[in-house]
């Protein structure tokens, strides 16, 4: 392209390309790869047409139209810039909707306790079907808590910490709130959501890691069959249903 550099039309075309590039640099990160890419392509196409015309001995004719081409291109650039808020300044707005390639599915969205999902969407078998992921709370439950796993409170904590379920450790005793999150007041015997995937759920109370607000010697137990909450002495016996993930606390 060096043989064209002496021509005024070539230099002005390059100036136009540089002008467009400066405009694109002020775009937001998102628009640099959408509208910015389109603007770069159009400016290169214009320069390409000018060079092609020169190669065909049509430079003289193109020079007569030089002002029109560059003016039209500048109008196009101004139109694009004015189509969205001012870029590159503090407080500039990003698009309210992310590009489709970064959209997340329900499985990828962090759990929120404000969701109310039907059982078919809420629960998913995981860990080779040995666990159940609750998408409302983000924690995994034993799919089938042992009917023989009845312990003192301290032993219940120890039992969960040493369990291997689905070839994974890292289990713990759930809090009272987590146990109650499984309770559906519209259901009975048990009060689990209709269509839940759990099995071997016992009628008696299940230990929580939450101690009693009244007596340090007691802990909270939740009867899943009725949804009842009760204070039980830590020396008493209750069933154990372990969870994995979520936020625990020092049960002692």
pLDDT confidence tier of residue 4, bands split at 50, 70 and 90: very low
Look up residue 155 and give its two tokens. Answer: 């032993």
Q: Note the CATH number of domain 106-244.
A: 3.10.100
Query: If you write DSSP's letter for every residue of the chain in order, what string do you get?
Result: -GGGTTSHHHHHHHHHHHHHHHHHHTS-HHHHTTHHHHHHHHHHHHHHHHHHHHHTT-HHHHHHTHHHHHHHHHHHHHHHHHTSPPPSSTTPPPPSS--GGG---GGGSPP-TT----HHHHEEEETTTTEEEETTTTEEEESS--TT-EE-HHHHHHHHHT--BTTB--EEPPPHHHHHTT--TT--SS-SPTT-------SSEEEEEEEPSS-TTEEEEEETTTTEEEEEETTS-EE---EESS------
Average pLDDT, rounded, for the chain:
79
**42-57 per-position pLDDT tens digit:** 777 776 776 666 655 5
Specify the range with the lowest mean pLDDT, choosing from 10-14, 42-46, 48-52, 221-225. 10-14
Answer yes or no: are the C-beta atoms of 170 and 131 closer than 8 Å.
no
- Statement: residue 177 has pLDDT above 50: yes
**102-149 per-position pLDDT tens digit:** 555 655 555 678 888 999 999 999 999 999 999 999 999 999 999 888
- Statement: residue 63 has pLDDT above 60: no
The average pLDDT across 63-76 equals: 60
- Domain ranges in the chain are 2-102, 106-244
pLDDT at 218: 97
């Amino acid at each position: 392209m060096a043989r064209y550099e002496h021509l005024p039309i070539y230099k002005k075309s390059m100036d136009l390309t540089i002008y467009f590039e400066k405009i694109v640099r002020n775009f937001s990160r998102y628009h640099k790869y959408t509208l910015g890419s389109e603007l770069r392509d159009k400016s290169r196409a214009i320069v390409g047409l000018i060079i092609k015309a020169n190669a065909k001995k049509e430079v003289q004719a193109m020079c007569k139209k030089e002002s029109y081409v560059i003016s039209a291109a500048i109008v196009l650039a101004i139109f694009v810039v004015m189509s969205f808020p001012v870029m590159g300044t503090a407080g500039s707005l990003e698009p309210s909707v992310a590009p489709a390639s970064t959209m997340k599915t329900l499985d990828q969205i962090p759990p929120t306790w404000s969701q109310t999902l039907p059982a078919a969407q809420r629960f998913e078998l995981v860990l080779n079907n040995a666990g159940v992921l609750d998408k409302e709370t983000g924690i995994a439950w034993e799919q089938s808590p042992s009917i023989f796993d009845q312990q003192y409170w301290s032993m219940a904590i120890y039992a969960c910490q040493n369990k291997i379920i689905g070839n994974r450790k890292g289990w713990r005793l759930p809090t009272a709130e987590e146990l109650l999150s499984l309770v559906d007041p519209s259901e009975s015997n048990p009060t689990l959501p209709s269509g839940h995937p759990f099995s071997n759920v016992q009628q008696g109370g299940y230990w929580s890691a939450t101690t009693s607000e009244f007596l340090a010697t007691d802990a909270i137990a939740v009867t899943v069959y009725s949804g009842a909450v009760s204070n039980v002495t830590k020396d008493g016996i209750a069933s154990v249903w372990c969870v994995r993930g979520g936020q625990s606390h020092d049960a002692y």
